[in-house]
Amino acid sequence: MTHPLAKTHRLVVKIGSSLLVEEASGHVRRKWLDALADDIARQRAQGREVVVVTSGAIAVGRRPLGLPSGALRLDQKQAAAATGQIRLAHAYQETLARHDIVVAQVLLTLDDSENRRRYLNARTTLLTLLAQGAVPVINENDTVATQEIRFGDNDRLAARVAEMIGADTLILFSDIDGLYTADPRRDSGARFLTEVVAITPEIEAMAGQPGSAVGSGGMVTKITAARIATQAGCKMAIAPGHGLHPLAALEAGGRATWFKPVGEPKAARKRWIAGALSPAGVLVVDEGAVKALRSGKSLLPAGVVGVEGEFQKGEAVLISDRQGRAVGRGLVAYSAADSRRLQGLNSADIEAALGWRGRDEMIHRDDLVLE
Ligand code: GLU
């Protein structure tokens, strides 16, 4: 059997606080992080793009602020994160600089994955960073995220990031080494699962209830993450991260539970565009554009002859021909007002028309499905 990492192009690695931060001192474990950075450099040398989702801001920041040990209130956590995030980002920057890798800090909130305009912005920024060869280092924007709009855990955040950028592999490294049929601390008959083909109610039951002995270890959020990632066509692993070089260990056949994806990331994204979103408006396009779309091209402003309805950048719109026949649907890169300004123009004239330089495409082909 080929290793699940063999075909990986775009990899999201999630690092849990317990791996990165020494509990007693609240310091970043530099030796461990250096080893991880070496692993990341090796992955990149094999032609893979790597994104890191890291926890640890709160754990690193609480001591310098003089906060007590034990459970913190939300505002204390937010204050700790504000202090810790700087140190965390620095640590990643320093260690990856040893391999001449540029690090980019991206702080996201739940809203950035739910609100379409912000989703599209975050996605575009991350893809630009990857295209420029940087390693995005992502955490939740804990300082501004209030209770209702928080992910609260980076397992789900990492899965949303994987979905957002069409990653094909997500690895959750933590002190949990994978999924067992029962709690191994209580049940000597508990079996380790190396592969999960579908997230059935039975699999969910294995994760335990939130707040139970097993669940509090974080398995529940990991199964939720697995559901998000696999639905987005991204395979996911829960793997132990405490040893040095966890990625290299995993690639060498180390222990992990792998969750099988449902299809490919691209197909999953297209399914989402085709099914889940109700169109907020219509772009009417000319015959040349219909032909271009059918041959796999993006929709350019030049081919648009009419704009109907009111929509925001990032919303789903229908594409129709002049006779009103549906051609497809997609996520539009401009609001309805801007689309009206741009219709019929060459992409080179976008900046002059809007006063800022937007994307060349009205709807990029990755954001487009044909009828
Ligand atoms: N965003 C939190 C931090 O950096 C971590 C959330 C989690 O532990 O999953 O401290």
**Consecutive H or E run containing 306:** strand 304-309
Give the pLDDT confidence score for residue 29 in this predicted structure.
97
**Residue in 76, 154, 216 to alter for ligand 1 test, most ligand atoms within 8 A of Cβ:** 154
Give the pLDDT confidence score for residue 214 in this predicted structure.
36
Convert the pLDDT of each residue in 191-248 to its tens digit. Answer: 999 999 999 989 988 887 554 433 334 888 999 999 999 999 999 999 999 999 999 9
**Residue in 14, 15, 17 to alter for ligand 1 test, most ligand atoms within 8 A of Cβ:** 17
Of ligand 1's listed atoms, the one at least distance from the Cα of 60 is 10
Ligand 1 centre distance from Cα of residue 143 (Å): 11
Residues 83, 23 contacting (CB under 8 angstroms): no
Convert the pLDDT of each residue in 29-81 to its tens digit. Answer: 999 999 999 999 999 999 999 999 999 999 999 999 999 888 888 899 999 99
Q: Determine the Cα–Cα distance for residues 64 and 102; give it in Å rounded to an integer.
A: 27
The helices-and-strands tally (H runs, E runs) of the chain is 14, 15
Q: Determine the Cα–Cα distance for residues 368 and 316; give it in Å rounded to an integer.
A: 9
Ligand 1 centre distance from Cα of residue 154 (Å): 6
Ligand 1 centre distance from Cα of residue 139 (Å): 7
Convert the pLDDT of each residue in 253-293 to its tens digit. Answer: 999 999 999 888 888 788 778 775 678 899 999 999 999 99
Dihedral angle of Cα 116, 118, 124, 130, to the nearest 10 degrees: -120
Give the pLDDT confidence score for residue 213 in this predicted structure.
37
Question: Which residues touch 58 (CB under 8 Å, ≥6 apart)?
Answer: 17, 72, 77, 80, 81, 84, 142
**Which among 18-22, 147-151, 273-277 has the top mean pLDDT?**
18-22
Q: Is 47 helix (H, G, I), strand (E, B) or coil?
A: coil
Give the pLDDT confidence score for residue 276 in this predicted structure.
58
Question: Which residues touch 337 (CB under 8 Å, ≥6 apart)?
Answer: none
How many other CB atoms sit within 10 Å of the CB of residue 143? Answer: 16
- Say if residue 146's pLDDT is above 80: no
Residues 66, 79 contacting (CB under 8 angstroms): no
Of ligand 1's listed atoms, the one at least distance from the Cα of 142 is 1
Ligand 1 centre distance from Cα of residue 328 (Å): 40
Q: How far apart are the first and last CA of the chain?
A: 37
* Exposure string over 249-266, b if 16+ CB within 10 A, otherwise e: bbbeebebbbbebbeebe
Of ligand 1's listed atoms, the one at least distance from the Cα of 154 is 9
Ligand 1 centre distance from Cα of residue 164 (Å): 19
Q: Determine the Cα–Cα distance for residues 63 and 80; give it in Å rounded to an integer.
A: 8
Of ligand 1's listed atoms, the one at least distance from the Cα of 55 is 4
Q: Please indicate whether residue 154, judged by its CB atom, sits closer than 6 Å to ligand 1.
A: yes
- C-alpha to C-alpha distances, 312 to 113, 334, 343, 358, nearest whole angstrom: 15, 7, 16, 14
Q: Determine the Cα–Cα distance for residues 240 and 179; give it in Å rounded to an integer.
A: 11
Convert the pLDDT of each residue in 156-192 to its tens digit. Answer: 999 999 999 999 999 999 888 899 998 888 888 889 9
Q: Please indicate whether residue 57, judged by its CB atom, sits closer than 6 Å to ligand 1.
A: yes
Give the pLDDT confidence score for residue 142 in this predicted structure.
87
Q: Determine the Cα–Cα distance for residues 61 and 78; give it in Å rounded to an integer.
A: 10
φ, ψ for residue 8 (rounded to 5)?
-70, 135
Q: Please indicate whether residue 49, judged by its CB atom, sits closer than 6 Å to ligand 1.
A: no
Name the pLDDT band for 328 (thresholds 50, 70, 90).
Answer: very high
Give the pLDDT confidence score for residue 266 in this predicted structure.
82
- C-alpha to C-alpha distances, 70 to 38, 59, 63, 75, nearest whole angstrom: 33, 11, 12, 14
Give the pLDDT confidence score for residue 182 in this predicted structure.
85
More confident residue, 115 or 271: 271
Ligand 1 centre distance from Cα of residue 116 (Å): 24
Q: What is the DSSP letter of 197?
A: S
Of ligand 1's listed atoms, the one at least distance from the Cα of 139 is 1
Q: Is 62 helix (H, G, I), strand (E, B) or coil?
A: coil
Assigned token pair, 262: 């449902």
> Could you give the domains of the chain?
10-265 (3.40.1160.10), 277-370 (2.30.130.10)
Q: What is the DSSP letter of 250?
A: H
Ligand 1 centre distance from Cα of residue 74 (Å): 12
Q: Determine the Cα–Cα distance for residues 228 and 261; give it in Å rounded to an integer.
A: 10
